[in-house]
Amino acid sequence: MTDPAGGRRTVVVTGAGRGLGEAMARRAAADGYRVVVAELNEERGSRTAAAIREAGGTAEFVPLDVADPASAQALAARIAPGGPVYGLVNNAALANGVGGKEFQDIDVETWDRLMTVNARGPWLVAKHLLPLMSTPGRIVNIASDAALYGSPRLAHYIASKGAVLALTRAMARELGERGITVNAVAPGLTEVEATESVPAERHALYAANRAIPRPQRPDDLVGLVSYLLGEESRYLTGQVVAVNGGFTMH
């Protein structure tokens, strides 16, 4: 995808070193965007960016810790010379190994860590990238269908992803006049490295209650994200779309 000046539009994908983030970054590059792989783990982020370039795309790895305001500010400073930012996919989150305790047994430190990364992180990155964003522009926040279903023994994660849904609506209201759309995607339980630690009973719950019974894969999500970044979604904003094979329906 090109900007009015003829260059490739820039899309930033956070947490793009593996799993869903990597799949979305690869698809964005295949769609013709210049991709900024914003990732905490240098090895994973560099690998994703290199793989995109080897496939003929344009990508750059930039380190990012979404829990650190200085890191988010440094991300903006690093990519500013490359021109305006067209799209942001707020994907980085803590998800693996976070469940198992009922809400009253979750310690304060763990609660605060989840909220800092999963809820404050998307706001923080968007805050620092907004001055660079073009008109039109696109922001896609990755939430979770757990916030729609209310999975047990996962209260802090659900609260953090529920905050992402509310943040999406607030940002959409404020940025509509600037031609920037803001939407959220709520994936179901997806077969990626981050979900390997999810208890077997939760995998069984999804398997038994999906309308589409097969396991969910990262490539089940990337088409929707591609659409939300594209021109045809220009009049769609403030919405939440669950991609989970019909596990939840609204």
Which whole number is the average pLDDT over 154-175?
97
**pLDDT per residue as tens digits for the range 24-36:** 999 999 999 999 9
Candidates 235, 216, 222, 154; CA nearest to 185 is 222
Contact 21, 13 (CB under 8 A): yes
Which whole number is the average pLDDT over 146-173?
94
Structure token digits, residue 22: 């990597």
At residue 65, the pLDDT reads: 98
At residue 153, the pLDDT reads: 87
Instruction: Examine the pLDDT at 200 and tell me if it is beyond 80.
Output: no
Contact 67, 120 (CB under 8 A): yes
Strand partners, 88: 12, 139
- Cα 29 to its chain centre, rounded Å, is 16
Q: 179: which DSSP letter?
A: T
At residue 32, the pLDDT reads: 97
At residue 10, the pLDDT reads: 98
Instruction: Examine the pLDDT at 172 and tell me if it is beyond 90.
Output: yes
At residue 223, the pLDDT reads: 97
Domains of the chain (ranges, CATH numbers): 10-234 (3.40.50.720)
d(CA 204, CA 199): 9
Q: What's the whole-number average pLDDT of the chain? A: 93
The model carries a pTM of: 0.94
Q: Is 61 left (phi over 0), alpha (psi -120 to 50) or beta?
A: beta
At residue 62, the pLDDT reads: 98
Active-site residue identified among 86, 157, 206, 227: 157
Does 157 qualify as catalytic in the annotation?
yes
**pLDDT per residue as tens digits for the range 67-117:** 999 999 999 999 999 999 999 999 999 987 777 889 999 999 999 999 999
Instruction: Examine the pLDDT at 207 and tell me if it is beyond 70.
Output: yes
At residue 100, the pLDDT reads: 81
d(CA 20, CA 137): 22
At residue 195, the pLDDT reads: 65
Strand partners, 241: 185
d(CA 95, CA 106): 15
